[in-house]
């Protein structure tokens, strides 16, 4: 039983460090988060674009700043993907810590 406890401790510690390394890569922009939430591709016709350009070219800077949508600068799908990766890492860390706790209780 002592060997099983040691194996569980090592597996739990490995899972915790793997999840921390996974999170560190994502938050330091070395790796992209898994793409769970995707932005929908909206079909845009050429006529619609030309009309919009003509309308916006006549507007002043103040009118343009009122018309600019916040979602153009704050892509919600990227934030949700990072949040999902953080939740996944938290679940892995929690599971690894529970494995290590079970291993310690088996040894003692």
In a domain, 60, yes or no: no
Q: How far apart are CA 100 and CA 106, in angstroms?
A: 10
Give the HSE-up count for residue 90: Cα atoms under 13 Å, Cβ half-sphere: 6
32-55 pLDDT tens trace: 888 887 766 545 555 555 666 666
Q: How far apart are CA 61 and CA 58, in angstroms?
A: 10
In a domain, 97, yes or no: yes
Q: Which domain holds residue 8?
A: 2-36+75-107
In a domain, 57, yes or no: no
50-98 pLDDT tens trace: 666 666 666 566 665 666 655 555 577 788 888 999 999 999 999 999 9
Q: How far apart are CA 66 and CA 71, in angstroms?
A: 13
- Specify the pLDDT at position 108: 86
Residue 30 has pLDDT above 80, yes or no: yes
In a domain, 100, yes or no: yes
- Specify the pLDDT at position 9: 94
Report how many domains make up the chain. Answer: 1
User: How many Cβ atoms from other residues are within 10 Å of residue 12's Cβ?
Assistant: 21
In a domain, 58, yes or no: no
In a domain, 42, yes or no: no
The pTM score is 0.64
């Amino acid at each position: 039983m002592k060997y099983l406890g040691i194996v569980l401790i090592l597996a739990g510690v490995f899972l915790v460090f793997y999840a921390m390394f996974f999170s560190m890569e994502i938050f330091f922009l070395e790796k992209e988060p898994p793409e769970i939430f995707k932005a929908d591709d909206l079909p845009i016709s050429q006529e619609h674009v030309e009309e919009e350009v003509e309308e916006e070219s006549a507007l002043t800077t103040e009118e343009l700043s009122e018309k600019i949508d916040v979602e153009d600068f704050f892509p919600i799908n990227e934030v949700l993907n990072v949040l999902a990766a953080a939740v996944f890492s938290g679940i892995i860390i929690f599971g690894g810590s529970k494995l290590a706790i079970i291993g310690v209780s088996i040894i003692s």
